């Protein structure tokens, strides 16, 4: 009985802490301006990223050399994005206000992926210029 109670409370707390943790990461990434390079690479026109672009951006992230410090966080946000997709599908017709919130959050996830891609592209450029400098 106690174990069941602990399980239920832990599950509720886990969901809350997980969502808040992801939201804090997204809130921080929203403050970072995307560079012109990333806009060129992804074909985006402004600082706004479409909610559905997340998967495409993550695929591009995986094409770049790993920096070794953001892989886990990208996975965590990917999990959050999948959770949002599920909630969005369930609430789209029943509770439109929740669906709107989900859409905003999904856009935040895509923006996070764009920031990660931006970091990796600039890291790749640094690596390339270092190699060029070493060869000359």
Task: List interacting residues with other proteins (CB under 8 A).
Answer: 3-4, 6-7, 9-11, 13-14, 16-21, 23-25, 27-28, 69-70, 72-73, 76, 101
How many C-alpha atoms does 62 have within 13 Å on its Cβ side?
10
Least Å distance, CB 75 to other proteins, is 10
In whole angstroms, the minimum distance from the beta carbon of 107 to other proteins comes to 13
N- to C-terminal Cα separation, the chain = 71
Interatomic CA distance for residues 14 and 2, integer angstroms:
18
Closest approach of Cβ 18 to other proteins, in Å?
5
Whichever of 56 and 73 has its CB closer to other proteins, that residue is 73
99 close to 92: Cβ distance less than 8 angstroms = yes
Residue among 64 and 76 whose Cβ is closer to other proteins? 76
**Which 3 state secondary structure label does DSSP give 1?**
coil
């Amino acid at each position: 009985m106690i174990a069941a109670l602990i399980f239920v409370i832990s599950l509720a707390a886990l969901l809350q802490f997980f969502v808040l943790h992801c939201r804090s990461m997204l809130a921080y990434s929203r403050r970072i301006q995307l560079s012109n390079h990333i806009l060129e690479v992804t074909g985006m026109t402004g600082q706004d990223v479409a909610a559905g672009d997340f998967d495409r951006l993550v695929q591009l992230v995986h094409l770049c050399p790993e920096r070794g410090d953001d892989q886990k966080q990208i996975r965590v946000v990917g999990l959050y994005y999948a959770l949002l997709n599920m909630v969005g599908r369930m609430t789209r017709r029943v509770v439109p206000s929740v669906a709107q919130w989900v859409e905003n959050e999904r856009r935040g996830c895509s923006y996070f992926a764009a920031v990660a891609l931006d970091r990796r592209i600039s890291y790749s450029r640094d690596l390339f210029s270092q190699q060029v400098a070493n060869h000359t």
